[in-house]
Amino acid sequence: MTPPLLVVDDLKTHFFTRRGITRAVDGVSFTLRAGETLALVGESGSGKSVTCLSLVRLVPEPAGRIVGGRVLLDGEDLLGKSPAEMRRVRGKQIAMVLQDPMTSLNPALTIGTQIGEVVRLHQGLRGASLRARALEALRRLRIAAAETRLGQFQHQLSGGMRQRVSSAIAMSCAPRLLIADEPTTSLDVTIQAQYLDLLKEVQQATGVAIILVTHDFGIVAANADRVAVMYAGRIVEIGSTLDVFNAPAHPYTRALLRCLPDIDARGGRLVEIGGQPPDLTRLPPGCPFAPRCSERQPRCETEYPAAVSIDDGHVANCWVAVAAGARPR
């Protein structure tokens, strides 16, 4: 097998505030290969977005700091690069699509100017060549009347069109890795499906790897090759989409899947996960999900669970899985 495009090893990002140290990302590790899609799922506040921001070194400063770990892109550690070197990586090798195009696009600049800025910075194109590349980026995302869109502003576009423009900017320099942080949040269901199908087509054509952050398990099932379930700043389970959906090993993963509405159950109550996520400034010594877990054991409250292998590539951090016979890694 080819070596991974991205290797994240024990990544830790903390926020230093008056209330204490918030461990937003607390030892995250995973790999990603070219052409693969990894979905990050979990409740709000579980560390998904901060993990993505850490990969591109855009954690809000001065409170936020990456305090440990490695992020290897094609074998090069991004955490060891200078700010100037990282500016050459962002947009060219790693691109990011944010969940709200209304805030990620500049309302004072035309669409053509915003695409051209990225291409000019990373590829040095000017004039007719720059315009041709901007048109190519729009047409790759199937944006109708691309030449007209170049001279328009974001308020002249629909929500779905704005999201496609954001993706066109991200893909304009053919990055190796695309981070999509809840890119369908502001879209209706029909446009969501069209947009995600379009991302798949672009991925198949270019081989770009995708990290997809979402709360929608339907999107995960249809688009992700692997799933990483996050809770309290850590990945508690990771595996292929089929393995995680068909044989979830962590009680938190099972609880999330039980929350999905059942279209065959008429008149039934929606299932919810009791309790609240933990305070990240005062994490317990054991499993942070233990206070909300109906399957917890005494060991869960005193010792953080070891990683165990459920199947090839399917790993969970859970003492309940150990008791069920899973083998330690």
31, with CB counted inside 10 A (0-12, 13-18, 19+), is middle
At 260, is the pLDDT very low, low, confident or very high (cuts 50, 70, 90)? confident
Tens digit of each residue's pLDDT (9 = 90 or more) over 51-92? 999 999 999 999 999 999 999 999 999 999 999 999 999 999
At 28, is the pLDDT very low, low, confident or very high (cuts 50, 70, 90)? very high
Q: Is the Cβ–Cβ distance between 212 and 219 less than 8 Å?
A: yes
The helix (H) or strand (E) run that includes residue 20 is: strand 20-32
Tens digit of each residue's pLDDT (9 = 90 or more) over 93-106? 999 998 777 778 89
CATH value of 6-93+178-263+270-278 in 3.40.50.300, 3.20.20.80, 3.30.365.10, 3.40.720.10: 3.40.50.300
At 46, is the pLDDT very low, low, confident or very high (cuts 50, 70, 90)? very high
**Per-domain boundaries in the chain:** 6-93+178-263+270-278, 104-174
The helix (H) or strand (E) run that includes residue 222 is: helix 217-223
What predicted TM-score, i.e. pTM, was given to this entire model? 0.92
